[in-house]
Structure 1
Amino acid sequence: MVSMVSRRSALILAARLWSFLWPARPHADVLEPYQKAGDLGVYLGIIPAQIARRHPSEHPEATMHGGPAEGRDMHVVVAIFDAAGNRVEDAEVSDAIAEVGQVGRRRARLEPMKIADTITFGAFVAMFRSGRQSIEVENRRPGSSAVQTASFTYDPGS
């Protein structure tokens, strides 16, 4: 079983490698990419949608979530693990994005995505152009009415 620390290290390494592969991408950071939500561990990634636009039309990532529509400038990706370190693949997942200190939220349902035989959840979303943003990732497991929420902070200008 892979520890949570090594999963986090792998995500950080992947993000750094991504920056070498796509040096012209806009800068986007989640200030802390891992949070607890009840007994679940939640990892959050935010990737510019322009990366998906670079894929050929027959590539599966070019059409996932209906494709990267205009105005939906970022791709939110969430991986969820239970207390034993097993990947959660059957949750209903959504996010709510708000500018820190402002009223109003943008909500999106995150769809299951199968990449490299693993399930994560994602959606193309419209992020605010500037300022720190709070992102709440809500998930509900089948057969449960309880919603577990992980809270993240995103800063497009950092």
Structure 2
Amino acid sequence: MGSRTDRRWRQVLGSVGLAGILLAPATSNAGVVDGVQTADGLTINLGVVPAPPVARAHPQMHGGASGRSIHNMHLVTAIFDASGARVKNATVVAHIFEQGGRQWNVPLQPMTVNGALSYGGYTTFPKDSDYRIGIIVQRPVPKRRHPVTVHFTWTHD
């Protein structure tokens, strides 16, 4: 059995592989500040990539195309438990805070890329600005009174 460090490297490399697939067509230099957060035994990775290339490659994903605007983005998150296994059967929501007070939720649906389970969804970031993205994970087992929530900062430029 691999060590905890070995499992963590597999997580990182798996996330990098997914990000590489989704980021390959992107030319934007926008990014997530510290795209990995850990809380309550979960490690949550977040990626934000332009939606049009994702929608072209996977036209049926998340109910279809999100539009062609440079403000349309695809959120993707990979979630791991303390053992390094991907979290399955979770309800995952991105809660987005825009500077100036606007907030909205984006349900993230299960998706598989190269056999790896992640959660994703489309949204529009209307301003070139900083955003705070909360990823909220509710697992059916073990059922917790409160979901696990982590926060990321993302700059849309």
Q: Same fold (TM over 0.5)?
A: yes
Mapped to 2, the partners of 1:152 and 1:13 lie a distance apart of 20
Runs of 4+ in structure 1 displaced over 4 angstroms?
Answer: 12-19
Deviation at 1:67, TM superposition (A): 1.7
1:64 aligns with 2:61: yes
Counterpart code for 1:66: G
Greater shift after overlay, 67-76 or 107-116? 67-76
TM-score (norm 2): 0.81
Map of 2:91 onto structure 1: 92
Paired residues, number:
149
Q: Secondary structure at the match of 2:37?
A: strand
**Over residues 105-145 of structure 1, what are the superposed CA-to-partner deviations in whole Å (9 max), with x where a residue is unaligned?**
12111000122222110001112421111000000110333
Mapped to 2, the partners of 1:120 and 1:126 lie a distance apart of 20
Map of 2:72 onto structure 1: 73
TM-score (norm 1): 0.81
Counterpart code for 2:7: S
Could you list the runs of 5+ residues in structure 2 that have no partner in the other structure? Answer: none
Identical amino acids, percent of aligned pairs? 27
Question: Matches of residues 8-157 of structure 1 in structure 2 within 5 Å?
Answer: 8=12, 11-12=15-16, 15=19, 21-22=24-25, 25-55=27-57, 61-70=58-67, 73-100=72-99, 102-142=100-140, 143-157=143-157
Could you list the runs of 5+ residues in structure 1 that have no partner in the other structure? Answer: 56-60
